[in-house]
A and B are shown apart, each in its own frame.
Chain A
Amino acid sequence: MDGVIGFLQDLGPNLQLVLDRMPLILDGLQVTLLTTVLGALLALVIAFVFGLAQLSKVMIVRGVARVFVEFFRGTSLVVQLFWLAFVLPQLPYPLGFRLEPLLVGVLALGLNYGAYAAEVVRGSIGSVPKGQFEAISALSLSPARGMFRVVIPQAWALMIPSLSNLWIQLLKGSAIVSTVLLYDIFFQVEQLRDRTGTWFAYSFALLAYYLIAWLIVILMNGLEIRAKHQIGRGPALRTAWRSLFQAPGTTPSGGRTARVVRDRSVAASGTPMGGGLA
């Protein structure tokens, strides 16, 4: 309890201290944003490559993709991070090399969450109605054209909520990177602790992550509204801007049908934070 009272008493001086340390905190923020954005981009590329490869007609391609996805889902993010940071440099020539801490963070986050996201991509493409595929051949579109112009735009609208959740997971996972000497915002705020006390420093850190997570939510909600609008399943962003601020996991504006479809793709993927099933 004295923690809470002390927290309120020292709020003013502590905020002043934050201002004094702002350059360092901003450095940390930059590192966190950089790992989170680059990690997510890598994850997205991996997700599409290995998600689509799992749907390939060639068995070898499918098999390799499955092994890759199961391996990176199964071996735990922190282990992968430590492996890249500690084991990789110890491997003998020509295998061993030391990566920049930033690269270690981005690679571990991208590989791990990319594997989860690959399942989302696979699940969403699997839940595009069969008739759409039939329509592609009926219109004699080439398979590639059909994939990129018909299937993926629809699957994209389905996968955004799950990808949004995964991106927040990735952001949260990035808080571990200071263990491999990448000085992110959590590390920089932790340095405040001996001056400000535990309550202030950690509340500040939690709040910072919460705000970044909301930026991701708003961005992804915007993408979802746009994607739905483009395939004619929802209002334009201009009229539906209120749903930008919809918390993840709450019933989306799309109503019942959207929920069911979303849950089906999530249930198939078994991602963390994927929401429930109907």
Chain B
Amino acid sequence: MTPQNSWWSWDHAFAVLPDLLFEGFKITLVATVLGTLIALVLGLVVAIIRRSAPRIISTPFTWVVEFIRMTPLVVQLVFANLVLSPYVDSSLSIGIWVLGIHYTTYMAEVYRAGIDSVPKGQWEAATALSLPRMRTWRAVVVPQAIRNTVPALGNYAISMFKETPFLFVIYVPELLNVAQNYGSTYFRYTEAITLAGLIFLAASYPTSLLIRRLEKKLA
């Protein structure tokens, strides 16, 4: 090994890289994909409930959504992990659900704006054709609403990806946790944490360029 006082050691870098990629990054990716799926589905459900449920339901519902959105993910993660760990084996699945539900509250806002942007005439046409309410949502409103929301939803997926290191607090072995473990084992943090950051950058930057292009195309 190169002397400890050189600022970058390739030996350490190559020693930690496989763990980062094949263990940490894998879990980070799994958490992001599943968390995003949860948020995509629940977000739409929340947006529709807020729009169509009677006031007595939608108002308290809105409070809950806002509360989740305005409180830290970290606190929610630790809380959920402590409460649920007797019933759920894996802290990864708890983490995925908390992440998914947290981002549900953001994505619901995106869907809401998308639904608002569907012209009123479309609703009127659906009424005029006496389409059932379910069918109006499914066949008329949602398909038009979703088109405009794709870039914003994508941006949230990326930002969820970059927030997966918060899962560190419930001991999920995602990318940063693997890096941190290596660092504390060898008392050598430089390579592991720097590489973890670069992996985040290498994955998120091209994706965000892709979304920016999509945004221009849809606009």
Contact = CB atoms under 8 A, between A and B. Distances in A.
Interface in B1-45: 5-7
B6 A276 contact: no
A214 interface: yes
Given A75-B200, A82-B180, A213-B71, A90 B211 contact: no
Interface residues of A, number: 54
Contacts of B117: 278
Nearest to A71: B201
A190 B159 CA distance: 27
Given A179-B169, A190-B78, A74 B201 contact: yes
A80 B109 contact: no
A62 interface: no
A198 B82 CA distance: 7
A202 interface: yes
Nearest to B111: A276
Question: Size band of the B side of the interface?
Answer: 35 or more
Contacts of B79: 198, 202, 205-206
A278 B6 contact: no
Interface string A238-278: 00000000011100000000000001000100111111111
A196 to B, nearest CB: 12
A277 B113 contact: yes
Given A3-B83, A80-B197, A86-B189, A92 B6 contact: yes
B169 A176 contact: yes
A186 B75 contact: yes
Interface stretch (B89-97, B124-132, B133-141, B149-157): B149-157
B165 A172 contact: no
B98 to A, nearest CB: 12
A78 interface: yes
A83 B197 CA distance: 9
A82 B78 contact: no
Nearest to A213: B70
Contacts of B109: 249, 275-276
A82 B113 contact: no
Contacts of B204: 73-74
Contacts of B156: 272
Contacts of A174: 72
Interface string B76-114: 101100110000000000000000000000100111111
A272 B67 contact: no
Contact of A95 (B7, B155, B159, B183): B7
Contacts of A272: 106, 155-156, 159
A184 to B, nearest CB: 10
A90 B82 contact: no
Contacts of B70: 168, 172, 209-210, 213-214, 248
B196 interface: yes
B112 A75 contact: no
Contact of A78 (B76, B159, B176): B176
Interface of A: 3, 70-71, 73-80, 82-83, 86-87, 90-92, 95-96, 168, 171-176, 179, 186, 190, 193, 198-199, 202, 205-206, 209-210, 213-214, 247-249, 263, 267, 270-278
Interface of B: 5-7, 66-67, 69-76, 78-79, 82-83, 106, 109-114, 116-117, 148-149, 151-152, 155-156, 159, 162-163, 165-166, 168-169, 176, 179-180, 183, 188-190, 193-194, 196-198, 200-201, 204-205, 208, 211-212, 215
11 contacts: A79-B165, A172-B71, A179-B169, A210-B70, A214-B70, A248-B70, A249-B66, A270-B211, A272-B159, A273-B106, A276-B112
